[in-house]
């Protein structure tokens, strides 16, 4: 990669630096002409400061598909940023100090070399993802081969991206600690395997950067050593795929157990994303079980208002059983209450959630108690279930919960 950067620098006749998308220095060419404090600091510190990063990102370089000219400031030279994109994903940036000779023709001439660098960065990113994909495998041999080292207790967090094809938020890499990357790439349903997107593997432990803190340029939480692994996954090879309500791209994160709730809350607060939190595991080798719980908890968060927008596996109660049912069994259970209108179903569920206390239920629904009694009688007539019978009440209650899990599938 250094040889390519040197060749680009020679062809452009300009001082060149290469950085990843987190503004960490990867390579730089020989100095040509004047130098400014930004280039000097980037080389000495091996990364750009948060202030410099924010200034450059304000020019839209993260989503630009071609060179971006950034004018100079007092003490800061003008420069050209060439986003290093591969298959529609930005993996880094090539910077060239403005020398007055960086014409569009010259920039176009180094296009093939820029493409080679972008492809190399993409290949490295995929390589960093592979250990995580194996680490979350149910196969002990695959987990051992991943070579991922982490200290327990750990907890997995599953987060749904905004829309099935929208990819991950472009600012997500700065929200999580350095070393955790976000990629919009996901596989299409039917290919039968984990996603091609990656979040990489970062440092794990109590000595890491704060979530969204000064080192990441995001919103600080005061919690050091946060999430370290992630992946964008979709398709029948993923736990939960093919189950109603589990389609779309899912971001998986592994965090120290004490910080899992904070990580999930941060992602929801910044991006409005639903999240599921798995159970903690003292042994990181069992993190794959926590990840599966997180995926199931995410499904509950998306369909059960009581547990939205962030559902913790430890607090899901009966949903921990229902969400494990096969689609066929879940649909069969939901069929017991299928005859109810939405209003009557909501009234019955509220009544059962309030342990059969009519007064509390009527107040919660904002209706007269007699109206509630009418709806309960109507429910008994439509379902053939006797709400005065404990087993019938249990069946109807579970049926309504099952129907919620199937909703929007």
Q: Are residues 238 and 146 in the same domain?
A: yes
| Confidence category of residue 339, pLDDT binned at 50, 70, 90 | very high
Q: Which is more confidently placed, 48 or 170? A: 48
| Confidence category of residue 406, pLDDT binned at 50, 70, 90 | confident
290 burial class (0-12, 13-18, 19+ CB within 10 angstroms)? buried
CB atoms within 10 A of CB 118: 21
Q: Which of these ranges, 52-61, 238-247, 380-389, 394-403, has the smallest mean pLDDT? A: 238-247
Strands across the sheet containing 154-160: 229-233, 250-256, 154-160, 275-277, 310-312
Residue where the block lists tokens 């327990």: 152
CATH value at residue 41: 3.30.450.40
Instruction: Say yes or no to pLDDT of 118 above 70.
Output: yes
CB atoms within 10 A of CB 327: 15
Q: What is the pTM of this model?
A: 0.57
246 inside domain? yes
Q: Are residues 167 and 217 in the same domain?
A: yes
120 inside domain? yes
Strands across the sheet containing 25-28: 25-28, 16-20, 89-97, 79-86, 68-70
| Confidence category of residue 180, pLDDT binned at 50, 70, 90 | very low
Q: Are residues 211 and 98 in the same domain?
A: no
Q: Are residues 331 and 298 in the same domain?
A: no
**pLDDT in the model for residue 267:** 78
52 inside domain? yes
**Within 13 A of 152's CA, how many CA atoms are on the CB side?**
11
* Distances 111 to 32, 105, 397 between C-alpha atoms, Å: 21, 10, 63
- Compute the average pLDDT of residues 225-239: 36
363 inside domain? yes
Nearest to 354 by CA among 312, 309, 387, 329: 387
pLDDT above 90 covers a percentage of the chain that reads 23
Domain boundary among 289, 322, 355: 322
Q: Are residues 148 and 88 in the same domain?
A: no
Q: Are residues 256 and 337 in the same domain?
A: no
Instruction: Say yes or no to pLDDT of 12 above 60.
Output: yes
Q: Domain limits at 239?
A: 136-322
Q: Are residues 146 and 279 in the same domain?
A: yes
User: What is the chain's mean pLDDT, rounded?
Assistant: 73
Domain boundary among 125, 147, 164: 125
Nearest to 20 by CA among 118, 157, 139: 118
Q: Are residues 311 and 333 in the same domain?
A: no
Residue-wise pLDDT for 133-179, tens only, equals 667 777 888 777 776 666 778 888 888 776 544 445 544 544 554 33
Q: Are residues 178 and 152 in the same domain?
A: yes
Most confident listed range (72-81, 137-146, 270-279, 290-299): 290-299
Q: Are residues 178 and 260 in the same domain?
A: yes
The residues facing 7 across adjacent strands are: none
199 inside domain? yes
| Confidence category of residue 276, pLDDT binned at 50, 70, 90 | very high
131 inside domain? no
DSSP class per residue in 57-115: HTTTTTT-SS-EEE--BTTB--EEEEEEEETTEEEEEEEEE--S---HHHHHHTHHHHH
DSSP strand pairing (310-312 vs 275-277): parallel
| Confidence category of residue 280, pLDDT binned at 50, 70, 90 | very high
Q: Are residues 192 and 248 in the same domain?
A: yes
Q: Are residues 341 and 310 in the same domain?
A: no
CB 161 within 8 A of CB 252: no
130 inside domain? no
353 inside domain? yes
Domain boundary among 69, 99, 125: 125
Domains contained in the chain, number:
3
């Amino acid at each position: 990669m250094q040889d390519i950067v040197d060749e680009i620098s020679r062809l452009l006749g300009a001082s060149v630096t290469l950085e990843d998308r987190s503004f960490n220095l990867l390579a730089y060419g020989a100095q040509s002409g004047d130098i400014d404090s930004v280039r000097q600091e980037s080389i000495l510190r091996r990364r750009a400061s948060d202030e410099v990063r924010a200034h450059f990102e304000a020019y839209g370089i993260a989503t630009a598909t071609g060179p971006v000219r950034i004018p100079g400031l007092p003490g800061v030279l003008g420069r050209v940023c060439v986003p290093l994109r591969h298959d529609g994903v930005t993996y880094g940036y090539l910077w060239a100090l403005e020398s007055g000779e960086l014409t569009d023709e010259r920039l176009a001439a180094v296009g093939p070399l820029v493409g080679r660098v972008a492809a190399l960065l993409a290949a490295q990113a995929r390589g960093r993802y592979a250990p995580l994909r194996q680490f979350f495998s149910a196969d002990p041999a695959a987990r051992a081969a991943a070579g991922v080292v982490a200290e327990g207790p750990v907890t997995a967090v599953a987060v749904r991206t905004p829309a099935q094809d929208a990819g991950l938020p472009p600012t997500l890499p700065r929200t999580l600690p350095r070393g955790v990357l976000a990629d919009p790439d996901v596989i299409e349903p039917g290919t039968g395997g984990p996603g091609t997107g990656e979040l990489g593997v970062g440092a794990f432990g109590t000595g890491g950067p704060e979530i969204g803190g000064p080192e990441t340029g995001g919103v600080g939480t005061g919690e050091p050593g946060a999430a370290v692994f992630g992946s964008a996954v979709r398709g029948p090879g993923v736990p939960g795929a093919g189950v109603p309500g589990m389609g779309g791209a899912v971001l998986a994160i592994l965090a120290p157990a004490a910080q899992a709730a904070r990580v999930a809350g941060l992602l929801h607060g910044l991006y409005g994303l639903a999240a599921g939190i798995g159970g903690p595991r003292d042994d990181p080798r069992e993190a794959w079980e926590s990840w599966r719980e997180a995926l199931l908890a995410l499904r509950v968060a998306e369909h059960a208002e009581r547990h939205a927008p962030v559902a913790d596996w430890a607090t899901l109660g009966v949903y921990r059983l229902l969400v494990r049912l096969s689609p066929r069994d879940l649909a069969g259970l939901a069929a017991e209450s299928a005859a109810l209108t939405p209003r009557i179903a909501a009234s019955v569920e509220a009544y059962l959630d309030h342990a059969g206390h009519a007064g509390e239920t009527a107040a919660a629904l904002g209706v007269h108690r007699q109206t509630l009694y009418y709806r309960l009688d109507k429910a008994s007539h439509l379902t053939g279930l006797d709400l005065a019978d404990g087993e019938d009440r249990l069946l109807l209650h579970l049926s309504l919960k099952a129907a919620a899990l199937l909703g929007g599938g």
